[in-house]
Amino acid sequence: MAHSGYLSLSVNEDIALTMLYSERCEALFMTQTVSVDEAQNKLPDLLADALAGNEVIITEHGTPVARLVPVVAHSKKKRVAGLNRGTISTSEDFDEPLPDEFWLGQE
């Protein structure tokens, strides 16, 4: 059997691993739920929490309506034109019309 590079787990092992991962993530990051009124009064604190990586859920009458998360800045890294030149190619008939069989679902 070829090695696929993936760990094969039973359903119970997978569930246990997921729970362990979830518990560790919760230890690192907290999810805070606040009402709309509370969010209006504590917005600077909630923004600081979100920027620190904590999730803030805003509810209205107990129903989640929004999630406060930081905006991830795009990389300012310069793109290099032609960096992957020759790695992608197209066939000679790339822009030729497709046969009727293709459009009729017969192929």
| DSSP conformation letters of 58-95 | EEETTEEEEEE-PPPPPP-PPP-TTTTTTS----TTTT
Q: What is the pLDDT of residue 4?
A: 44
Residue 55 has pLDDT above 80, yes or no: yes
Mean pLDDT in the chain? 76
- How do strand 55-60 and strand 31-35 relate by DSSP bridges? parallel
What pLDDT score was predicted for residue 15? 54
Express each pLDDT in 64-98 by its tens digit: 999 988 877 666 778 788 888 888 888 888 889 98
Nearest to 25 by CA among 59, 54, 56: 54
Q: How confident is residue 5, by pLDDT bands cut at 50, 70 and 90?
A: very low
Q: Which CATH class is domain 9-70?
A: alpha beta
Going by C-alpha positions, the residue among 70, 40, 65, 74 that lies closest to residue 55 is 70
